[in-house]
Amino acid sequence: MDFMQVAAGGAAVLVAEMAKSSWEAVRAAMARLFGRGGAETAEQELRLLDAARERLVGTVDGERASVARTLEQQLLIQLAAFLQKNPEAAADLQTLADRSDETGEVRAQVSVHHNTGSQVLIAGGSVTAHDFSYGASQERK
């Protein structure tokens, strides 16, 4: 597996997700991935990831694209180095990158158990079923 290619896809997804409301789900997925390197490594890698996100969201709009490109390169290097030390994590990072659609949004996988007598609705957009309709807010699109 080409670690640089996997790292590049992962870095692009991470930068795309950093300013979105779905960031916490992506961060949790990365925490699990980094956990393959041990607790101390995971903590260090997440600190770098959190610092990158803070830099991006703290940037004024006119400079955000430039900062995003720089962060994508830095994350590429970080992820490639991590994958070289933890090659078994490459498949997980590739899965994360593959789950992103053309807008860069990562889809979450959710399991619901033991919910008898109730309904569960999880949606990333508008939902319509029979006479029920729920529209996602326009700001999320």
Q: Of the candidates 28, 44, 24, which has an alpha carbon nearest to the alpha carbon of residue 86? A: 44
| Integer Cα distance of 22 and 101 in angstroms | 13
Domain boundaries, the chain: 3-106
Three-class DSSP category at 138: helix
pTM (two decimals): 0.68
Q: Tokens at residue 95, please?
A: 């899965």
One-letter identity of residue 127: V
Q: Among 41-50, 83-92, 94-103, which stretch is predicted with the lowest mean pLDDT?
A: 94-103
Each residue's pLDDT tens digit, 60-92 = 989 999 999 999 999 999 999 999 999 999 999
How far, in whole angstroms, is CA 59 from its chain's centroid? 19
